[in-house]
Amino acid sequence: MTDRTDLRTDRRVDRALLLTFDDRHVREWAAVAPLFARHEARVTFFVCEPDRLDGDEVRMLRRLADDGHTVGCHGLRHERATDFVAAHGAGAYLDREVVPALESLRRLGFPARSFAYPCSARDESTDRLLLALFERLRGGLPAGRRADPSLADELHVPAAELASRRVLPGCSVDSGRGGVAYDDDLTGVETALRRTADEGGATTLYAHCVADAHEANHVAPARLEGLLGLAADLSLPCVGFDELP
Positions that interact with Zn ion (CB under 5 A): 22-23, 118
User: Nearest approach, Cβ of 206 to Zn ion (angstroms)?
Assistant: 9
d(CA 105, CA 152): 33
Q: Which is nearer to Zn ion, 35 or 216 (CB)?
A: 216
Closer of 50 and 118 to Zn ion (Cβ): 118
Instruction: For Zn ion, give the closer residue by CB, 116 or 157.
Output: 116
Q: How far is the CB of 75 from Zn ion (least distance, A)?
A: 8
The residue sitting closest to Zn ion, measured at its beta carbon, is 22
d(CA 33, CA 12): 24
In the bound state with Zn ion, the residue whose beta carbon lies nearer, of 22 and 243, is 22
If the CB atoms of residues 33 and 216 are measured against Zn ion, the closer one turns out to be 216
Minimum CB separation of residue 214 from Zn ion in Å reads: 14
Alpha-carbon gap, residue 7 to 198, rounded angstroms: 21
Provide the minimum distance between the beta carbon of 107 and Zn ion in the complex, in angstroms, as a whole number.
21
* Complete DSSP assignment for the chain: ---HHHHHHHSPPSEEEEEEEEES-HHHHHHTHHHHHHTT---EEEES-GGG--HHHHHHHHHHHHTT-EEEE--SS---HHHHHHHH-HHHIIIIIIHHHHHHHHHTT----EEE-GGG---HHHHHHHTTT-SEEE----GGGTT-TTHHHHHEEPGGGTTT--EE-EEE---EETTEEPP---HHHHHHHHHHHHH-EEEEEEE-EESSS-SSEEE-HHHHHHHHHHHHHTT--B--GGG--
Residue 40 or 49 having the CB closest to Zn ion: 49
**In the complex, minimum distance from the CB of residue 124 to Zn ion, in angstroms, rounded to a whole number:** 21
Shortest CB 143 distance to Zn ion, Å: 13
